[in-house]
Homo-oligomer: A and B are copies of this chain.
């Protein structure tokens, strides 16, 4: 049904078949001044002999890889999954390729992948750095390629960034819970990223403004860590509500609550960052702070394009709003 051309067919073969020079073939495919007739002839010849441009060669010569690196903690985290998908859609639509890296919140792996991205000569990088690496950036460590940070950043890190306003979002959750009448609002925040720390800060500030106690813990950002942290939290802090800084922590927390036979929201109310499909399906539905994941990916690509176009423009940090989705897990019950 389809004959396979084993011998490599290059631009020269097309040139010969079309009766033009290799340069003309190149121009027919790329952007070069070329007459419509020749372009048609070249395209016909290329189709006839089954020519496919060799991207390695193109990239080497043009010094433009049209590839962007995407470094996230773990693609299995639904937040990053969604952002990645948005980024890829735009990238492919622009004829760009995406190389995905999972850092597992490990600075060593980050360093390794940053190296790899340099060797790839990626056109740009979209990166969700760990706290460690972000701090290094604040100290002056700069990536020498167009970079946009997502989900995590700080004003003096020297790079563009997109994320939600974490402090505000955390305050939103606290205010919501407080307005429901909860007074002992605990928090489980991820320790590996500034995101967790920022959210904790926003949480703390909002509590303080209301004269409520800070009952937060920084934990490793995994379901297992949240699950393990609950018993101690419950015993020591006796919260009537808990905020988790991402959906993995919410997952672990729910499991632990089940084990302890604590009822939501009667014994303990819940609210979490990240709205996943399943948050509306658990009983009670989970109150969540939804992040505009698609928009984050899109905005990151836009910032990156700007940065590539103008490498020495002033850096920008785009703060997108989170949206509070109220569900039963944070509803005050009469008791």
Contact = CB atoms under 8 A, between A and B. Distances in A.
Contact of A283 (B74, B78, B115, B283): B283
A140 B55 contact: no
Given A1-B141, A2-B140, A121 B281 contact: no
A90 interface: no
Interface string A109-126: 000000110111100000
Interface stretch (A20-28, A80-88, A170-178): A80-88
A57 interface: yes
A115 B95 CA distance: 13
A328 interface: no
Contacts of A139: 1
A78 B74 CA distance: 13
Contacts of A136: 1
A155 interface: no
Which of A75, A78, A276: most chain B Cβ within 10 A? Answer: A75
A226 B103 CA distance: 35
A142 B4 contact: yes
Contacts of A6: 144
Contacts of A98: 99-100
B88 A102 contact: yes
A140 B85 contact: no
Interface in A42-56: 52-56
A100 B88 contact: yes
17 contacts: A1-B139, A1-B140, A2-B142, A52-B115, A52-B119, A55-B119, A56-B121, A57-B60, A75-B88, A76-B85, A88-B102, A97-B116, A98-B100, A100-B100, A251-B278, A251-B281, A255-B280
